[in-house]
Chains A and B, each alone.
Chain A
Amino acid sequence: MAILETRHIIKQYAQHRALDDVSLSVPTGQIFGLLGPNGAGKTSLIRIINQITGPDSGEVLFDGKPLGPEHIRHIGYLPEERGLYKKMKVGEQLLYLAQLKGLNERQAMDKLKIWFEKFDIKTWWSKNVEDLSKGMQQKIQFVATVLHQPALLILDEPFSGFDPINANLIRDEILELRQQGTTIIFSTHRMETVEELCDHIALIHQSHKVLDGSKRAIKEQFKTHTYRVEYQGNMGELPAAFATTAVGVTDDGFDRMDINIPPDAAVNDLIRLLLDRVSIRSFGENIPSMNDIFIKAVGKAND
């Protein structure tokens, strides 16, 4: 089941096509990583999902129905460029933003109390936003984004501006929200967080979708059938089918080698071959990191 679906979205600005035939399907209850280099078209897509702008052609479906004003209250959006009214009190501001999302004042108040206790920020209620530190403001903005309990949460670089402790706090909240069934679209450049959090990934590059699928499937797709072995002894010549790279010595004095096997070959054959020749210290498959995949996919698209 997909909570959100975009079909053949095209968005054209005066000289520049920001999105070209982008179709995506965001599975319900997952963390969906929306990746791409700067200027790829992520923000344009996010703005279309938030109904800030509309596509020139194509359609967006929310829960299977065409996206409309009634869906605004089911979406929470944390833009990359954060901002709050500087001269407004924290409590009033959060109440206001919640009311814009369709909550009435009492509902908003009840929900705010829970969050203020959870983040232990009750003393901030009547402070002006400009009197808070940047990290504090980020926390307030996060609360403003999730307060109305949206079914779909769109977070654009949610960890920027947080120190490691608060970044962890926010990460735990994101995971808890997923636990409760919230779908999260997660736009970021930080591949280690993608690695850690995302279930599903789409990569947009130069207005086109170049990669889309579950994290596991994508890693499968990008793996090179390369295995790293660390050993002692004399390896000798390997059969021609096995290409060796990155031959060298580890920090603690073992020999090291990356061995690429043909896609149809069995790993066990390689292991048998090695057992006969050297004493193995470790053996494992080189799984591509998200960083490698990102660079590879973008590089390939550039060619």
Chain B
Amino acid sequence: MSIILTIIKREYLVRVRKKSFVVMTLLGPLLMTAFYGLIGWAAIGSISQKNVAVIDQNGQFTGKFKPDEETKYTYLTTAPTQAKTHFVEDGYDALVVIPKAVIEQPKTVQIYAEKSVGGSLKNNIERAVSKQIEVIKLSRSGITQQIIEDAKVNVDAETISLSDQGEKKTSTVMTSIIGGLCAFLIYISVLLYGTQVMRGVLEEKTSRIIEVIISSVKPFQLMMGKIVGVGLVGLTQFMLWIMLTTSLIWGGSAIFGAKMARDAATARMSTTMSAEKAKAIAKASEDPGMMTEFSAALKTLNLTLIITCFLFYFLGGYLLYSSLYGAIGAAVDSETDTQQFMLPVTLPIIACATLAQFIIRDPDGPLAFWMSMIPFTSPIIMMVRIPFGVPAWEIALSMALLVLGFIGTTWLAARIYRVGILMYGKKPTYRELSKWIFYKA
């Protein structure tokens, strides 16, 4: 046992001390924060309101368009031909001309803009016009505005997941994000650290130190020591990433939050800025919005379950794949020869990554069920599903299968490994590999 610990210690320390580890550990959170910052910046930028001029020749539309965060409307009485030449200089983004006969010929509405009009602005205007036409037509047939208002019932469905502790409101978006994030982390770590195990084995083989080492320890001890050592490196890197990213995002949020509040304040004071815009910015800065929704969603999710499962599937998936990667490293002599064997091992991981989006849409479908049972795909797919709620028996079965899976692959890998590390020369074929499995020790 102490020998395995010695091996684990070496594998761990050698990697953690590497410059590339330090660089990756520091760079990862910076990239993530930059990404987050970009989204935040884009969110603030998108608040800018469009100023739309409306010439209502019909007369029944004036004051009927409702301004919102995206668009505000100004009603002009000038002639369309005159307005057309001036509206850009007057500070409008678009000009809408509603002809007199619009009720009978709704397609005659015209939108002018210097640049081509964005899809959402066009939609907004079309919706506003058709709604107003609807109102007008209804009231013509005797239905009053009052009845229409009464008839409008706002249905905003909430998703509620049933569990033992009673009903809880969950946000589908947040659940998807958390599931996706966990799955993505497992995907990255399996690829990243699995190939590190492979390179480590290859290094020992090409530097020929392997013969010295296995005259002192059993090949299995060396393989397991390496797998565990690299796994701990992975866990360390994740811990550091999470800590650094959280602190950076907190810092970043504080700066962004302050900036938004300042914008709101200046907007309130400024007289040139329209009241609507000021209101919109103030609302955005005061609106707890995403952060509250996120933390609310976190509260409703079973975090202990998610974290436990994440650790389990991370370890299970990593052990399963890294032993296979270790066997590949043992089977060949050089990194270029690994490609042929990498493909079949990497394929299920990539399939998981591509299919995860369908699993998110239908987390209880048959594809989701089977992929979360097969040990080669379950670490990633089950993590996508778990935040949505998965029956306990499914989790237990999937975990049991994963344990069997990695015991199986480790056994297989160890058999290939112990023969492969002493073989030099020709790249083995799959047939030879399968023969190695049955060699006597």
Contacts and interface: CB of A to CB of B under 8 A. Distances in A.
Interface in A95-132: 96-97, 99-102
Given A14-B435, A53-B441, A100 B211 contact: no
Interface string B216-228: 1100000000000
A88 B209 CA distance: 12
B216 A100 contact: yes
A144 interface: yes
Given A14-B435, A52-B422, A88-B14, A83 B208 contact: yes
B21 to A, nearest CB: 13
Counting chain A CB atoms within 10 Å of each CB, the highest count among B214, B216, B441 belongs to B216
A87 B14 contact: yes
Contacts of B208: 79, 81-83
The dominant DSSP class at the B interface is helix
B14 A100 contact: no
A144 B204 CA distance: 16
A144 B212 contact: yes
Nearest to A73: B216
A100 B7 CA distance: 8
Nearest to B211: A79
A78 to B, nearest CB: 8
B212 A83 contact: yes
A144 B211 CA distance: 13
Contact of B207 (A50, A54, A86): A86
Contacts of B214: 52
Nearest to A130: B207
Nearest to B432: A14
Contact of B10 (A47, A56, A84, A96): A96
B14 A52 contact: no
A231 interface: no
Interface in A183-217: none
Contact of A84 (B6, B209, B217, B441): B209
A52 B215 contact: yes
B160 interface: no
B417 to A, nearest CB: 13
A83 B209 contact: yes
A72 B6 contact: no
Interface in A54-101: 54, 56, 72, 75, 77, 79, 81-88, 96-97, 99-101
Interface in A247-300: none
B210 interface: yes
B3 interface: yes
B14 A50 contact: no
A51 interface: yes
A83 to B, nearest CB: 3
B305 to A, nearest CB: 41
Contacts of A53: 422, 441
B212 A97 contact: yes
Interface residues of B, number: 22
Given A88-B14, A99-B6, A100-B6, A83 B210 contact: yes
A86 B7 CA distance: 17
Contacts of B7: 100
A66 to B, nearest CB: 16
A79 B14 CA distance: 24
B213 interface: yes
Interface string A229-242: 00000000000000
Nearest to B435: A14
Contacts of B210: 83
B66 interface: no
Nearest to B7: A100
Contact of B217 (A14, A85, A100): A100
B440 A79 contact: no
Given A14-B435, A87-B14, A54 B212 contact: no
B133 to A, nearest CB: 76
B216 A84 contact: no
Contacts of A77: 211-212, 215
Given A81-B208, A82-B208, A100 B441 contact: no
A87 B216 CA distance: 21
Contacts of B217: 100
A261 to B, nearest CB: 50
Counting chain A CB atoms within 10 Å of each CB, the highest count among B7, B214, B422 belongs to B214
A72 B441 contact: no
A86 B199 CA distance: 14
Given A14-B435, A82-B208, A83-B209, A50 B6 contact: no
Given A52-B422, A54-B441, A99-B6, A84 B215 contact: no
Closest 6 A/B residue pairs (Cβ): A83-B208, A83-B209, A100-B216, A50-B215, A81-B208, A79-B211
11 contacts: A51-B215, A54-B441, A72-B216, A79-B212, A81-B208, A84-B209, A87-B14, A97-B216, A99-B6, A100-B3, A100-B213
Interface of A: 14, 47, 50-54, 56, 72, 75, 77, 79, 81-88, 96-97, 99-102, 141, 144
Given A72-B216, A79-B211, 19 more contacts: A14-B435, A52-B214, A53-B441, A54-B441, A77-B211, A82-B208, A83-B207, A83-B210, A84-B209, A85-B14, A85-B207, A86-B203, A88-B14, A96-B6, A96-B10, A99-B6, A100-B213, A100-B217, A141-B212
